[in-house]
Amino acid sequence: AQKVTQAQTEISVVEKEDVTLDCVYETRDTTYYLFWYKQPPSGELVFLIRRNSFDEQNEISGRYSWNFQKSTSSFNFTITASQVVDSAVYFCALSLIQGAQKLVFGQGTRLTINP
């Protein structure tokens, strides 16, 4: 079975600070995808990134960056120079490449950026 753990339940920082959201996953499969989603108060899950288990390259998109380390089964997400609009609940998720496209989500981290 697959499992995703986001140990940080809530994080609160002041605007312009950098913040890292942790994600640790468990799976016996060697081929899988990892995801990050953002859930604003409206409730809709907004896709941020998908990484293939074969590709451990870190990725940067504007103020967002992701660090994928298979050796520690982690897929951490960093927001640089945070903004108030970044306030949301962030979910890390995993799905296997084989079979149904079932996403297994972590519990989420509620991020609050204070002005």
Partner 1 sequence: ETGVTQSPTHLIKTRGQQVTLRCSSQSGHNTVSWYQQALGQGPQFIFQYYREEENGRGNFPPRFSGLQFPNYSSELNVNALELDDSALYLCASSPPGLAGLNEQFFGPGTRLTVL
Question: Count of residues binding partner 1 (CB under 8 A)?
Answer: 24
DSSP assignment string, the chain: --EEE---SEEEEETT--EEE--EEE-S-S-EEEEEEEE-TT---EEEEEEETT----EEETTEEEEEEGGGTEEEEEESS--GGG-EEEEEEEEESSSS---EE---EEEEEE-
CA-CA distance, 67 to 42, in Å (whole number)?
28
Q: What mask of x and - would describe binding to partner 1 in positions 25 to 64, judged by CB under 8 A?
A: --------x---x----xxxxxx--x--------------
For partner 1, give the closer residue by CB, 16 or 70. Answer: 70
For partner 1, give the closer residue by CB, 82 or 95. Answer: 95
- Residue 68 makes contact with partner 1 by CB under 8 A: no
Only one of the segments 15-23, 58-66, 70-78, 87-95 lies at the binding site for partner 1 (rule: CB under 8 A); that segment is: 87-95
Residues near partner 1 (CB under 8 A): 4, 33, 37, 42-47, 50, 91, 93, 95, 97, 99-108
